Structure 1
Amino acid sequence: MEIKSNEILDERVKAIFQEFLKDLETLFQELENRELEIRKELKELKNKDDELEARLQDIKNKTNLNKEK
């Protein structure tokens, strides 16, 4: 009787642990997906920053040209 209840308990623990691992895998996949999204957003922001920096430099150059005239 004792052995049978231990076996049942072992099976329940295994099932709970397997579900936990499945949930953990899902969470890691979601984290990886979010990381990819953030990297993409960061790249877009970097491109926008470079664009704005170029525009600022262009404005500075035009301002300097106007001062020299």
Structure 2
Amino acid sequence: MDQSEVDRLWFESESIPGVKFKLNDSATITAGLHKGKSVSIIALISLKPMPTYLVELGEEPYGDLRIPEANLAPQQ
């Protein structure tokens, strides 16, 4: 799958093989300095070596972070 197809699927909130989250999904950080913080997925930065996202913190300290998929869990 080429980058233009990945971009199309991402912005249409379609499933991308090997990618757990979609644009605007809510998640919780599971490791590191911001463990337990709620975030919103705002961008898919890379697919390799593992999916990595740009996320927006939903609570203080507000801001954007780069987080690998392995350090995120879906919110129920």
Bigger share in helix: 1
TM-score, with normalisation over the residues of structure 2? 0.15
Q: Which has the higher contact order (CA 8 A, sep 6+)?
A: 2
TM-score, with normalisation over the residues of structure 1? 0.16
Bigger share in strand: 2
